Structure formats: structure tokens, C-alpha cells
Structure 1
Amino acid sequence: MGNILAYLIGLLSLVIVIPAQIPLLGWANWLALPLIALGVVIGALSSSTGGRNFCLIVGLIAAVRLTLGGGFV
């Protein structure tokens, strides 16, 4: 159950992260990061690791975008 919940949180975060790749919308990644962290925690508590890994990949995409944009662009 926790794995499915982690996948759903990861999908919600991905919906936020994809438009945040557009210039001047990078601030939306800051909204997605707490959701991603919640998904990672829930995924780590479940018996399977697929949801946790999906959230980690989405978090990596958001973190790279924030790094390239200087944290806010």
C-alpha cells in the first residue's frame, strides 16, 4: 500500500516538476520538493522500493533544474 501511495505522490510531484523546467518557472520545484521527500519516506517504509526510486528520480530532476537555475530561476 505504501508503494502505491509513493507512486501517486511521485506522479503528483512530476506534474509539478515538468512545467517547472520552463524558464522563470523554476520556483515551482520548491513546491515539489517537500512532496518528493514525503514520497521517499513513504516509499522507504513500504516493503517494495519502486515508489521510493521513482520519487528519487523525480527529485533528481528537480534538484538538477534548481542547480542549473541558481536556486530560483
Structure 2
Amino acid sequence: MKSLFQVISVLIGLFAAVWMIVGIIPLLGVIQWPVLVLCVVGVIFGTFPQRKIGLTINLVVGIVAALRLSLGGGLF
């Protein structure tokens, strides 16, 4: 069961990472808001397994998305 949580967390993290990269394009910064929500869900799933790779992916993606949002004023 815990390995299922790890797989879910990694998949959410990779999906969020793809959308985070799309959101780095100018004028598409608003995409970072759903990315942050996905990262929070991925972090929740990533806290249960022993191996924390999903947690790490989601934290890194979330930090980059939050930084991008702060640079763009939350919209751009």
C-alpha cells in the first residue's frame, strides 16, 4: 500500500513539473496556481512511504512554482 502512495506521489509530481514548465512561459504564470495545488496533494501522498522521492519532487516543483508566482505578481 505504501508503494502505491509513492507511485501516486511521483506521478503527480511529474505531471505538475510538466505544467510548471509550461507556466514558465511569459503570460502563462496563472498556470502555477493549479500546479501548487497538485504539489500539495503530491506532498500529502509522498509523506507516507519510506522512500521520499515523490515528496522531494513535489517540494522542488512547488518551490519553483511559488518563486515563479512571486516574480510574476501572482498572475503573469
TM-score, normalisation: structure 1 = 0.94
Q: How does 1:57-68 map to 2 (within 5 A)?
A: 57-68=60-71
Q: Percent identity?
A: 40
User: In structure 2, what is the equivalent of residue 9 of structure 1?
Assistant: 12
**Cα deviations across residues 10-68 of structure 1 (Å, max 9, x unaligned)?**
01101111010011000000111111100000000222211101100010110110011
Q: How does 1:17-28 map to 2 (within 5 A)?
A: 17-28=20-31
Distance 1:10 1:30 in 2: 14
RMSD over equivalenced CA pairs, Å: 0.8
Runs of 5+ unmatched residues, structure 1? none
The aligned length equals 73
Q: Give, as a single letter, the amino acid of the residue that structure 2 aligns with 1:20.
A: G
What SS does the aligned partner of 2:73 have? coil
Distance 1:60 1:34 in 2: 12
Structure 1 moving runs of 4+ over 2 Å: none
